[in-house]
């Protein structure tokens, strides 16, 4: 991935090359993450108390078990409104009429069938860090899937690198969690990232509206703007979970280095110094800030985390603060 012309010879651009690592560090991760369970049984009990939140109202293909702000015809009473000609007479509150001599209609909460989509980046740049960004992201994806399934939401999980791969089709109910865990456990990082192509295919493939969580490091030479526009065009409730490794945020590299891009094998030779490290961090902060601002201005909820941020705290506290779960 090429950096900008002005910086390519001296400092990598974070949006393109923060995933570059010294050649000596490019072996497969040895932190044991690949064999570690994605979700602790005790943590699952905590997740049972949560539910995913949609800021928009969607009409599902069948009744679900969550209450929507949309008024409907379930048995749970919501409020009254004045009767107007043409309203269903069966919903008139005759007790209120007897007291006030006015016709009021009883409104009920509609149960909605919420679609929860996860779009997970499995490109090679996600195979970096300890634990790897991919392992951390798989934990998040598993937790969100579990929350959705125990609340009888429809859970759909796709992954992408150079293209979109359908991982878990529409599933519903707690009994389907084994499929999610088995699928995620066997996922491996490979290929270059092409979020634009994946998002385009995603928008074509999935007709249902709902909540979509994009989990990625966004180290993509194609950028993120066009990709997210495809999702915006589908009128989805979009959350962007930006995952970087602590090694990328606070690199501890010194001396002469030969950096190799883990995705396209591009090589850059640099001498790491304090001024160069500062420029790298400035570039990274600009990239992260730019993505956050772009998302916020378009109604997309941006969430930043690193692989060192406590996973349980991310789900139970941070995602609740950001409005994804409650």
pLDDT-derived band of residue 7, with 50, 70 and 90 as boundaries?
very low
Measured from the Cβ of residue 42, the count of other Cβ atoms closer than 10 Å reads 8
How many domains, the chain?
Answer: 2
Looking only at the bridges linking them, the beta strands covering 255-260 and 21-22 are: antiparallel
What is the model's pLDDT at position 255? 79
For residue 45, how many other CB atoms are within 10 A of its CB?
9
Q: What is the mean pLDDT of residues 175-198?
A: 95
- pLDDT band for 68, please (50, 70, 90 cuts): very low
Do residues 153 and 293 both lie within one domain? yes
In a domain, 295, yes or no: yes
Q: What does the pLDDT average to over 208-237? A: 93
CATH of the domain at 18: 3.40.50.410
Task: Tell me, yes or no, whether 314 lies in a domain.
Answer: yes
Residue 83: inside a domain = yes
**98 shares a domain with 26:** no
Query: CA 92 to CA 82: how far, in whole Å?
Result: 9
pLDDT of residue 30: 42
More confident position, 111 or 250: 250
Angle (deg, nearest 10), helices 274-297 and 225-233: 20
Confidence of residue 54 (pLDDT cuts 50, 70, 90): confident
Each residue of 33-49: pLDDT tens digit?
Answer: 555 689 999 999 999 99
Residue 74 has pLDDT above 90, yes or no: no
- Classify each residue of 9-18 as buried b or exposed e, where b means 16 or more C-beta atoms within 10 Å of its C-beta: eebbbbbbbb
Q: Answer yes or no: do 72 and 43 share one domain.
A: no
Q: What is the pTM of this model?
A: 0.77
125 & 211 share domain: yes
The pLDDT value recorded for residue 85 is 65
| pLDDT of 316 over the 60 cut | yes
pLDDT reported for residue 81: 64
279-305 average pLDDT score: 96
Tokens 């064999």 — which residue? 35
CA distances from 107 to 56, 67, 78, 114, 181 (A): 19, 13, 5, 21, 40
Same domain, 255 and 187: yes
285 assigned to some structural domain:
yes
Residue given tokens 């293909």 in the structure block: 61
Are 138 and 198 in the same domain?
Answer: yes
pLDDT band at 63 (very low <50, low <70, confident <90, very high): very low
Distance of CA 110 to the CA centre of its chain: 26
Q: Alpha carbon 189 to chain centroid distance?
A: 17
Host domain of residue 103: 66-112
Residue pair 128/141 in contact (Cβ under 8 Å)? The answer is no
The owner of tokens 């497969």 is 28
**Averaged pLDDT, 276-282:** 91
pLDDT at residue 219 is higher than 80: yes
pLDDT at 286: 97
The two three-digit tokens of residue 323, written as one number: 């409005």
Q: Is the peptide bond before 108 cis (omega within 30 degrees of 0)?
A: no
Do 43 and 97 share a structural domain?
no
Lowest model confidence (mean pLDDT) among 93-97, 286-290, 298-302, 321-325: 93-97
Cα-Cα-Cα-Cα dihedral sign, residues 301, 20, 246, 4: negative
Structural domain includes residue 8: no
Query: In terms of domains, do 81 and 208 share one?
Result: no
User: Which of 209, 211, 206, 216 minimizes the C-alpha distance to 239?
Assistant: 211
The pLDDT score that the predictor gives to residue 22 is: 46
Residue 52: helix, strand or coil by DSSP?
strand
In a shared domain, residues 117 and 193: yes
- Phi, psi of 180, rounded to the nearest 5 degrees: -65, -50
Look-up: residue for tokens 């990232």? 193
Mean pLDDT score, 100-105: 74
Strand ranges (E), the chain: 21-22, 66-82, 104-112, 115-121, 154-160, 164-172, 211-216, 237-244, 255-260, 267-272, 301-306
Q: What percent of the chain has pLDDT over 70?
A: 75
Q: What is the mean pLDDT of residues 183-209?
A: 93
Residues 27 and 94 in one domain: no
Question: What pLDDT is recorded for position 11?
Answer: 41
The answer as to whether 9 is a domain residue is no
Tell me the C-alpha to C-alpha distance, in Å, between residue 316 and each of 134, 216, 306: 20, 20, 16
CA distance linking residue 304 with residue 306, whole number of Å: 7
* pLDDT score recorded for residue 112: 57
Indicate if 72 and 199 belong to the same structural domain: no
pLDDT tens digits, 118-158: 999 999 999 999 999 999 999 999 999 999 999 989 999 99
Is 271 found in the same domain as 188? yes
Predicted local distance difference test score (pLDDT) of residue 73: 44
Mean pLDDT, the chain, rounded, equals 81
The pair of three-digit structure tokens given for residue 147, joined into one six-digit string: 């929350």
Sheet holding 21-22, edge to edge: 21-22, 255-260, 267-272
Q: Is residue 2 in some structural domain? A: no
Instruction: Tell me if 1 is assigned to some domain.
Output: no
């Amino acid at each position: 991935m090429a950096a900008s012309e002005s910086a390519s010879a001296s400092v990598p651009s974070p949006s393109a090359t923060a995933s570059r690592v010294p050649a000596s560090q490019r072996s497969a991760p040895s932190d044991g993450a690949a064999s570690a369970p994605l979700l602790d049984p005790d943590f699952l009990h905590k997740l049972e108390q949560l539910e995913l939140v949609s800021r928009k109202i969607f009409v599902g293909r069948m009744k679900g078990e969550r209450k929507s702000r949309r008024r409907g015809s379930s048995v749970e009473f919501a409020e009254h409104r004045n009767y107007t000609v043409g309203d269903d007479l069966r919903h008139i509150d005759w007790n209120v009429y007897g007291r006030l001599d006015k016709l009021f209609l009883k409104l009920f909460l509609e149960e909605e069938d919420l679609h929860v989509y996860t779009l997970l980046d499995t490109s090679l740049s996600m195979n970096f860090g300890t634990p790897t960004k991919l392992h951390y992201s798989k934990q998040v994806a598993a937790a969100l899937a579990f929350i959705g399934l125990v609340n009888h939401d429809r859970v759909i999980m796709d992954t992408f690198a150079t293209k979109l791969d359908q991982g878990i089709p529409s599933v519903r109910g707690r009994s389907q969690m084994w499929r999610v865990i088995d699928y995620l456990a066997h996922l491996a990082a490979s290929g270059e990232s092409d979020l634009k192509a994946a998002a385009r295919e995603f928008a074509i493939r999935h007709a249902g509206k709902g909540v979509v969580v994009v989990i990625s490091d966004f180290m993509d030479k194609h950028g993120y703007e066009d990709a997210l526009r495809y999702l915006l065009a589908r009128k989805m409730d979009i959350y962007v979970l930006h995952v970087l490794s602590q090694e990328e945020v606070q690199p501890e590299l010194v001396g002469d280095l030969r950096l190799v891009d883990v995705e396209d094998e591009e090589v850059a030779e640099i001498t790491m110094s304090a001024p160069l490290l500062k420029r790298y961090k400035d570039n990274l902060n600009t990239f992260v800030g730019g993505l956050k601002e772009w998302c916020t201005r378009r109604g997309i909820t941006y969430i930043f985390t690193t692989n060192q941020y406590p996973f349980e705290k991310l789900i139970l506290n941070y995602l609740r603060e950001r409005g994804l779960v409650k």
